[in-house]
A and B are shown apart, each in its own frame.
Chain A
Amino acid sequence: MKELVAHGLRCGYHKHDVVKGIDFSLNPGEVLVVLGANGSGKTTLFKAIMRFLPLSAGHISVDGQDVLHMSLLEYSRIFSYIPQQHTPVFSYTVEETAMMGRASRVATFSTPGKEDKAAVKKALETLKITHLKDKYYTRISGGERKLALIARALCQQSKIIVMDEPSSDLDYANQQLMINTILSLKEYGYSIILSTHAPEYPFSVADKVLLLKNGQAVSYGAPGGALNRGTLSHAFGVPMDVFELDDQKGSTRKICLPL
C-alpha cells in the first residue's frame, strides 16, 4: 500500500449529514488521530470509513484505486477495525478471538488451518500476550481485551488499522501500554487511524491530527501546527492552551490545560 486518500466525505443518519465534508490522507506507517469532543462526528466518520454507513458524498481511494466499490473480502484485507470497549454476549478465548481475524481467509464451510494457527501464534507473540491465549475475553482486563482485539487485527493482515477510541475506559498504565503498542505497530509499517477525545493524546502518537467539531475539520496537519490555543478552544468549547514541559531526559513534552 502506498497512500490512502479520503476526499469530501459526507455521511450521517436519516438523510441528515453528521460528517460534513472531511478530507485526509495517510501514508504507510503513519498514525492519524481524529480528535474531537463527544458528538463531533468521530464515530460516524469511522463508520463511513469502515463502510458500516454509506457515504452521501465523497470518496476513499487506496493507491489511486477507489475502495468503496470493493467486495467485503477485498476491503477487509485493506482495513481492519477495532471497536470501542464493549462486553460481548458470548465470550471466546483470546486465541479464538484472534483467530476470527482470519475469517476472510477461511471459507464459509471450512475451519482454520495450519497457516491460520501460525498467524495467530505470531500475533500473540508480537503483542506478548501468548500467556493469555486460553483465557476468556470477559475474564481479562480492559487493556488485555484491547490487545486481544489488536491481535485479531494483526491476524487479518490488513495494512490500515482503524481504532475507535482505543484508550477510553482504560486506566493510566493501560493507556501508556496502548500508546506503546500503537508506536510499535507503526514501526512494523501499519497505518493507523484512531479517534480520541483526549486533547494531548495526538502529541504522543500522531503524525497527523484531524480536529473535528460538528462534523467539520477545525484543523488538520502535524499536531504541532494543528493543535493550538485557538483551534483546541474552538473545538472543545472551553478556553484551553498547549504548554511545553522539559522532562528529565531533556526532551520537550506538550500538555493541554484549561485556562
Chain B
Amino acid sequence: MNNKHIPLYERKNYFRFLLVGLVAASALSILFSFTVGYYDLPASRIFELFGQIGTAQPTSDYIVLMRVRLPRILSAFLIGAALSVSGASYQGMFKNPLVSPDILGVASGAGFGASLAIFLGMSSVMVQTMAFIAGLGAAFLSFLISSRVKYGQTVSLILAGTMIGALCMAATTMLKYLADTSDTLPAITFWLMGSLVKVDMKSLLFSLVPMAVGFVLLFLMRWRLNVLTLGDEEAQSLGVNPRRTRFMAIVGATLLSSAAVCLGGLIGWVGLMIPHITRGLVGPQYKKTFPVCILLGGCFLLLVDDLSRGVSALEIPIGVLTAFVGAPFFIWLILRRKGEQV
C-alpha cells in the first residue's frame, strides 16, 4: 500500500515522536508564558531569577515571577490538562465524542456553589471550596438519579446531568437577580466567565490534591476504560462490570473537572476539543490518549491564557477566548475531515 494512504497514527514510532515534540512544545510554551504580561520580564532575566530561589530579599521581578506568573502558568497548564483528560474519559464511557466534562452538571454545579459563596460574602478560599463541593455534588446527584433507572444507564446519566445542570443554572441566575448590582453581581459574573487573575499558590495547591487523585485513578484505569467504550453489553460479556467501572471513571473525571472549575471558573471547549484532536492524532486507546491530552490540553490553555493577559491591558476572560479560539477551530476540523471517523 502507498505510504500516503496509511494514516499518520498507524506509522511506526509516530507516537514516540509526537510525545517528544509535545514535551518540547510544552516546555517552550511555559518558558514563553513567563515573559508575557504587563510587567516587562525578558526571557534572559527569567533564568537568572530562578537562580535566586530561596534568597532572603526578593526583588520585585522575583515576586512577579514566583508569586504571580508561576502559579498562574501552572494553573493554566493543569486546568487544560485536567479538563482534557476528564473530557476524554467522559466521551469514552458515554461512547459519545460530543460529550464535554460538564455532562453531569459539574460546571453548572460549581458555578452555583461559587455564586452562592460570593452572594453570601464569603472569602475566596470559601468560594473555591463551595465551587468544588457543589461541582462534585451535582455529579453525584446525577449519578444517584440515574442509578435508580434499571437499564440504559448512559442515557439516564446524560438526562439526569442535563437536568441537574439546568437546575443549577436557574439557581445561579436567581442569585444574580437578587445580588447587589454594585459589587456582588459583577463578582459573580466575572467568576462565571472564567479567569485565572486571582490564582495564587494556595488556591493552586487546593485544587492540586483532587486533580492528582483524579489523574492517578484514571491513569490506572487506562486499559479498562477502552473496554467501557464498547458499550455495557459487550463489556459485560467480556467479564467487566460496566456500572462499577463507570462509577470509578466518573469519580476520577469528576474530581478532575471540579478541581479545574473551582480553580479557573467556567472554561468551556477545552474538554471537548482537545480529546477530539487527540484521538485524531493517536487513536482512541487511552494509554496514548491520556498523555497526549495532558500535554496538548495544558499547552493550549496556557497559550490561550497568554493571549488573555497579553493582548491588551484589560484582561479578556479566558472562558470567552477558549470559545473564540475553540469554536472556529472545531468547525474547521469538522469541515476538513469530511465525515471521516476515528
- Quick check: B239 and A75 within 8 Å, CB to CB? yes
Given contacts A90-B95, A91-B342, A136-B10, contact A81 B234 (CB under 8 A): yes
Complex Cα distance, B287 from A120, in Å, reads 18
CB of B239 within 8 A of CB of A92, answer no
CB distance from B115 to the nearest CB of A (A): 35
* Closest beta carbon of chain B to A192's beta carbon, Å: 15
For A80, the chain B residues whose CB sits under 8 A away are: 237-238
A89 at the interface (CB under 8 A from B): yes
Are the CB atoms of A109 and B234 closer together than 8 Å?
no
A73–B341 Cα gap in the complex (Å)? 32
Asked whether, in the complex, the Cβ of B245 is within 8 Å of the Cβ of A100, the reply is no
A-side contacts of B341, CB under 8 Å? 87, 91, 138
Instruction: Given A89-B95, A103-B227, answer yes or no on A156-B238 (Cβ-Cβ < 8 Å).
Output: yes
B226 in contact (CB, < 8 A): yes
Are A101 and B236 within 8 A (Cβ)?
no
Residues of A in contact (CB 8 Å), total 37
Residue of B nearest to A134 (CB): B10
Closest CB in chain B relative to A92 CB, distance in Å: 6
Q: Is B327 an interface residue (CB 8 A)?
A: no
Query: B92: which A residues are within 8 A, CB to CB?
Result: 90
Contact (A76, B237) CB under 8 Å given A89-B95, A89-B97, A109-B221: yes
* Smallest CB gap from B216: residue in A: A109
Q: How far is the CB of A4 from chain B (nearest CB, A)?
A: 16
Contact A76 B224 (CB under 8 A): no
Taken together as a complex, chains A and B put the C-alpha atoms of A72 and B232 apart, in Å, by 12
Q: Which chain B residues have a beta carbon within 8 Å of chain A's beta carbons?
A: 7, 10, 92, 95-97, 220-224, 226-227, 229-230, 233-241, 245, 248, 279, 283-285, 287, 341-342
Closest 8 CB pairs of A and B: A104-B239, A76-B239, A81-B237, A90-B284, A109-B220, A103-B238, A111-B223, A90-B229
11 more A-B residue pairs beyond the given contacts A83-B234, A103-B224, with a C-beta to C-beta distance below 8 A: A47-B233, A50-B237, A81-B234, A88-B95, A89-B229, A90-B95, A90-B229, A90-B279, A92-B226, A100-B226, A109-B224
